[in-house]
Amino acid sequence: MKYKHIVFDIDGTLIDSENAILRSLQEVLLRVTGKQYTFDELSFALGITGEDALERLHIENVPDVMRMWLEILRRHDGMISIYEGIETLLQYLAGKGYRLGIVSSKTRDMYDNDFARFGVSHYFDISVCSDDTEGHKPTADPLLKYMEWAGAKRHEVLYVGDSVHDSQCAENAGVDFALAVWGSHTETTRADYLLKQPSELTAILDRREQYMLECCVDSVESAIAAQAGGADRLELCAALIIGGTSPGMALFEKIRENCSLPVRVLLRPRFGDFLYTEYEFEILKREVAIFREAGAEGVVIGCLSEDGNLHMDQMRALIAEAGTMKVTLHRAFDVCADPIRAYRQARELGIDTILTSGQQSCCEDGIHLLEQLCEIRKEEGGPRIMAGAGVTPDVIRRFLSQTEITCYHLSAKMNVDSGMKYRREGVPMGLPAMSEYSILRTDKRIVSEANRALMLEGI
């Protein structure tokens, strides 16, 4: 579950109130100014507070006129209705464990006295109204207030609204936005998702739950970016530039302090092959215990024998040490002698995931083996296949249309230039092809695009 909080606007999103709002505004303006406004002239008022609308119309005595407007609006209550499918949507979301909230330009009095009559307010844990914040939509203040009260993080929130003011509020607050097209006048408003009817939100969220997006990181900065982009899980390692080695406990602890995603820890004592000496194996076994005690969700391991098969004795010992932790078989699988035999051995060991490129340098080239493994899993059961190596948002889209793979592993790397001003070039510390002043970091934008591919492809 990427999102934990689904937050709704009210007017134009949950209830169809446009005609009542504009008709009552027409009437009050005719009474106050003597001018007959058209709906087109007043449509800007949808999605902002009544006070803001009146001020933009240069109305004097805004509080008095606002009270008059509300009295007229309540006489038009019969024109307001809840959109078809909304209560079914709210029941679904509540049943799935999402926390539901309201961020509205309505006043608290309007929310308590007018919205309650539709019989759905009990679904919402928190409601933020116009009198709860100094700034109103399109500023970020209302959504930031919701996150403060709910203890929510930006990446956990999806805001559903119908207006450009809702979209701008979400963008300014740094949260994802779904446009309720059923109540909107345009589909051109910036949105992460376009919902033509309420049931489409359930389809998107249901689809996302079927998939796993794992991001490989070797820094706190990358872990934070992966979480913000919508990753489901982290694979934590050190030295990603050489394929990853076992990380230190200080890095694990700092990531746990700053990131709430489950973490599987890659354990690999050195660069190179997966035939381990007794010393190396004892180090691996100790690392499994250390990260189990530290609260890792799982470990990512792989040991081979000299003939290219899984070293079953070493694997059994490491899995026994893992206890209740989940286990991923890493890309040692991609250099084993017989991948079909190794898959069945992994099933025997109780491994739940195999990270593989299909025994090729990139997963697109290995797609035929990946498809074969998926077919074996369907027929015989066994570990989930997680495609890795060369995974991009475009690759995910192609795989979704061509394969049954539901798990994807990427690092979403970008090069970040070092902050060093003094630089001594030509003195490599290990990899001559890699500048010492170029740092690899996870790009939140790539992770976010990959996440959207999983949520939207096929909808």
In tens, the pLDDT along 332-351 reads 999 999 999 999 999 999 99
- Kindly report the three-state secondary structure assignment for every residue of 36-92: CCCHHHHHHHCCCCHHHHHHHCCCCCHHHHHHHHHHHHHHCHHHCEECCCHHHHHHH
Residue that has been written with the tokens 């006295």 in this structure: 113
**From CA 399, how far away is CA 61, in angstroms rounded?**
61
Q: Alpha-carbon dihedral of residues 123, 107, 79, 179, nearest 10 degrees?
A: -60
**From CA 257, how far away is CA 263, in angstroms rounded?**
12
Residue that has been written with the tokens 């998926």 in this structure: 374
Residue that has been written with the tokens 């919701």 in this structure: 146
The Cα-based distances of 91 to 64, 94, 355, 459 in angstroms read 39, 5, 37, 21
Q: Tell me what the mean pLDDT of segment 283-291 comes to.
A: 97
Residue 194 has which token pair? 């376009």
Q: Is the pLDDT of residue 185 over 70?
A: no
Confidence grade of residue 186 (pLDDT, cut at 50, 70, 90): low
pLDDT of residue 421: 87
- Classify 210-456 by CATH class: alpha beta
Q: pLDDT tens, 433-449?
A: 677 777 889 999 999 99
**From CA 374, how far away is CA 407, in angstroms rounded?**
11
In 3D, which of 434, 449, 447, 383 has the Cα closest to residue 240? 434
When the pLDDT of each residue in the chain is averaged and rounded to a whole number, the result is 91
Q: pLDDT tens, 234-286?
A: 999 999 988 999 999 999 999 999 998 999 999 999 999 999 999 999 999 99
Supply φ then ψ for residue 133, to 5 degrees: -135, 150
pTM across the whole model? 0.74
**Torsional class of 209: left (φ above 0), alpha (ψ -120 to 50), beta (otherwise):** alpha
- Structural element, H or E, at residue 293: helix 278-294
CATH architecture of 5-14+84-206: 3-Layer(aba) Sandwich (3.40)
